[in-house]
Amino acid sequence: MSTPMSTPMSTPMSTPMSKLQLDPATVAQARDLAARAGRPIVDLARSHTTVSVERAALRLAGLSGADPDGTPWVNRLADAVRADLPEALAGGLAVPVWDALVRGEAEDLTTLAQKAAAGSVRFRHPTGGDRARAITAARDQIERGLHAIERQRTERERLLQVHGGPPRTPWIYLIVATGDIYEDIPQAQQAAREGADVIAVIRSTGQSLLDFVPEGATREGFAGTYATAENFRLMRAALDETSAELGRYVRLTNYASGLCMPEIAVLAGQQRLDMMLNDSMYGILFRDINPVRTFVDQRFSRQVHARAGIIINTGEDNYLTTADAVDAAHTVTTSQLLNEYFAKEAGLEDWQLGLGHAFEIDPDLPDSFRLELAHALLARELFPDAPLKWMPPTRHMTGDVFRGHLLDGFFNLAGALTGQGILLVGMMTEAVVTPWLSDRDLALQNVRYVLDAAGALGEDFHPAPEGFIAERARTVLAESIDLLHRIAGDGLLDAIADGTFGLMRRPADGGRGLDGVTPRGDDYVNPAIDALERGPDGPMEAS
């Protein structure tokens, strides 16, 4: 039995006709090239596994908690299996784990992990009937975990029916991140009262490089708050209270990236998060995580998001913090097309694709606002049914708060004119201090004024067919197609190694987490992957 897969949002974001007069054949060519470039990466992801994918399957089955030192039991169990069976990762951890349970080594996963950590369990590669029984037991328990995630999706849909959603688009997206979840909660609730539709709890700096997910509620973080199951639960419960108070469902987002992307995706589904930062290349480029591991983890995590009804936010805006926003505009479009291909291949629908881009052109450049409009409108028209995530200026914020507030106003206006779906609130104190509550109040006033005054102006905005904006958009698309031709020929891994995106050079045989990725063996079994590949209504596979 599966939950309804209806869309938990209405999206009046689509563009009924092209304002840029994009050639449909050219757009189709761009998508075809993105598929050609992305298909070998999907094949790679389908033929490899990682320690985080295997741990995510154990988390789906209900394993949680940590030892007295804070090491998660899921890590302890995975490490114990690999210590006994050095090639276990290639075959998947599920069979030896559930073989031990079926043999009576422990009554549940937590007890098994505790005994394994103490060295009182030995794991094996079962054969014949023992192997079949282990696979059946693993499948049943993991399927129950997926059904629990589907029930959370149904609960979100119920609450949207009860409370309703934002009264208009774009949704206003605001970040809180004190490092202390108990400080984040009142700030998030107040932000929602002031008009925020989406609360993002930005993750503690460096968590993406941890090969484990911290456990419990945390009160210390660095430029952010740790992503943990308990922090997710606490913030979701608080925003549910505020949703009932406001009569408007407030969405919650966090980060499914880094070395534990699949596990965090599972935790997000279990705790009913609504959005997750999930980009196919961010961890590679900006955290130097091994490219193969990232692509394997990314596919699994997006399959979980698809089942959970979670909207992803991609990270193309980050490219423009290291590369010039005009010269590199086509790399953003290229990445958006690749992210779309990877997302849809993993089962995500258009309404779940919060593809990223940003307002990062140097404001001292002549026609900077016209250039921003061209790039934003190009994204809107290439992905008419996606709730695009539009990011505010950061790179050229100088500390002049008055200039910054004006830039944020221009950013908000560009979002309104081009029909963006998710508008991240810009702060005038960006690059000065971590924003105070008063800074957020002013930023939200800025957004509300622009949306109230010009929110529907997009219907009147039609750039001249042969004018500056339309020509610039077509130029960027043409440059993106040229780049996709090269990537489709040379391979995406080589393009990443050459510094094509964000000027970062990341070879496929380097980066963090390389030792946690391996090709799947002929005997590989992971019931979580099998279930996600089938979809919610797919037939059961024979063991």
Single out the residue of 146, 122, 45, 91 nearest to residue 526, CA to CA. Answer: 91
Contact 398, 432 (CB under 8 A): no
* Catalytic sites, residue numbers: 282, 317, 389
**Secondary structure letter of residue 393 according to DSSP:** P
- The string of DSSP codes covering 463-479 is --TTSHHHHHHHHHHHH
Q: Is the peptide bond before 366 cis (omega within 30 degrees of 0)?
A: no
Q: What is the Cα Rg of the chain in Å?
A: 23
d(CA 484, CA 256): 26
Going by C-beta distance under 8 Å and a sequence separation of 6 or more, which residues neighbour residue 462?
19
* Burial of 539 from C-beta contacts in 10 A (0-12 / 13-18 / 19+): exposed
* Alpha carbons 440 and 431: distance in angstroms, whole number: 14
Q: Of 541, 527, 531, give the one whose Cα is nearest residue 137.
A: 527
373, two tokens: 């409009």
Contacts of 391 (CB under 8 A, 6+ apart): 317, 356, 357, 358, 359, 360, 424
How far apart are alpha carbons 296 and 518 in whole angstroms? 10
Q: With contact defined as beta carbons under 8 Å apart, do 245 and 223 qualify?
A: no
Amino acid at 14: S
Tokens 């030892």: give the residue.
67
Token code pair at residue 488: 């489709």
The DSSP output letter for 352 is G
Taking Cα atoms as reference points, which of 310, 280, 312, 368 lies closest to residue 150? 310
Pairing verdict, β 517-519 and 48-50: antiparallel
Which residues does residue 300 pair with via DSSP β-bridges, in sequence order?
none
Spatial CB neighbours of 528, under 8 Å, sequence gap ≥ 6: 53, 56, 57, 60, 94, 142, 146, 300
Residue 184 neighbours by CB under 8 Å, 6+ apart: 176, 177, 178, 201, 225, 235
If we measure between CA atoms, which residue out of 240, 411, 399, 417 comes closest to residue 325? 411
Cα torsion angle, 249, 255, 257, 259, sign: negative
Q: Which residue type does 27 have?
A: V
**What Å distances lie between residue 263 and 63, 72, 243, 244, 439, CA to CA?**
11, 12, 27, 30, 34
CA–centroid distance for 429 within its chain:
26
